[in-house]
């Protein structure tokens, strides 16, 4: 699961129809010679879905037995799934992104940038740090940096109807703060704390990341050794800075 970044694996015997539509294509050039007139009856049964495929890959329909090399199975995944199959196993990947998965993905991206900053600053692997951060924008909301107003309004309306408008970017640090601290050896996560380093500010401006991210960050906590600005997705920008604890 860790290698594939998969939350859970459900090993179960289930009807593949839950995840995909299956189509069987018979090899008429081979089966026609072997079965003769019975080929039409076989084709009609397969088209109607009146067939079975055994564990060894043999297909049976209309009293005929069809070997694995005499037919092909194609799968059309249903919305929200990606699928792959051999004769014995079907793998279905649920590609729907929940609010929680979205936040976890954002947290991983934040950790990646902080780790890069640790390397740039030349910290030792066991050095403890303080992370300052600032978050700007909301995903798909009108007026957010880079957001499309029409799409944002539609998303907001859909979210309201469903009882929520999706995750708030600031929740990256409130709900996944323990994970970020553990992965980056951060003793503190300071919202809006720490000054911007010159290198980090220049990098952020060069990348064209949303204006205002990190702007107004006070220097009361001490300037950052390194900082970076980046987009998590359209309309959501983050600034992070690091210094030794």
Question: Could you write out the DSSP letters of every residue in 2-48?
Answer: TTTT-S--------GGGTEEEEEEE-HHHHHHHHTTHHHHHHHHHHT
Residue ranges of the chain whose pLDDT lies below 50: 141-164, 194-221
Residue-wise pLDDT tens digits, 118-144 = 999 999 999 999 999 999 887 754 333
pLDDT given at position 228? 94
pTM across the whole model: 0.62
CA 132 to chain centre: 26
pLDDT given at position 167? 82
pLDDT given at position 203? 43
CA distance 47 to 25: 9
3-class secondary structure, 194: coil
pLDDT given at position 91? 87
pLDDT given at position 144? 38
pLDDT given at position 128? 96
pLDDT given at position 162? 38
CB contact at 8 A, 24 and 71? yes
Q: What is the DSSP letter of 186?
A: E
């Amino acid at each position: 699961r860790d290698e594939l970044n998969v939350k859970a694996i459900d090993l179960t015997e289930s009807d593949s129809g839950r995840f995909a539509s299956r189509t069987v294509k018979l090899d008429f050039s081979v089966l026609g010679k072997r079965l003769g007139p019975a080929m039409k009856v076989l084709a009609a049964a397969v088209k109607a879905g009146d067939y079975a495929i055994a564990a060894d890959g043999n297909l049976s329909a209309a009293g005929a037995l069809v070997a694995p090399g005499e037919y092909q199975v194609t799968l059309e995944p249903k919305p929200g799934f990606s699928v792959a199959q051999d004769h014995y196993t079907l793998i279905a990947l649920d590609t729907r992104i929940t609010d929680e998965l979205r936040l976890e993905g954002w947290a991983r991206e934040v950790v990646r940038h902080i780790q890069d900053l640790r390397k740039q600053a030349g910290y030792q692997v066991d050095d403890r740090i303080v992370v300052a951060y600032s978050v700007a924008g909301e995903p798909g909301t009108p007026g957010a940096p880079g957001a499309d107003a029409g799409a944002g309004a539609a998303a907001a309306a859909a979210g309201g109807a469903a009882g929520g408008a999706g995750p708030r970017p600031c929740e990256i640090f409130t709900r996944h703060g323990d994970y970020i601290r553990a992965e980056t050896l951060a003793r503190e996560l300071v919202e809006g704390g720490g000054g911007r380093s010159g290198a980090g500010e220049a990098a952020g401006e060069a990348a064209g990341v949303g204006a205002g991210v990190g702007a107004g960050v006070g220097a009361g906590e001490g300037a950052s050794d390194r900082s970076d600005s980046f987009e998590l997705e359209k309309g959501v920008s983050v600034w992070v800075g690091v210094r030794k604890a």
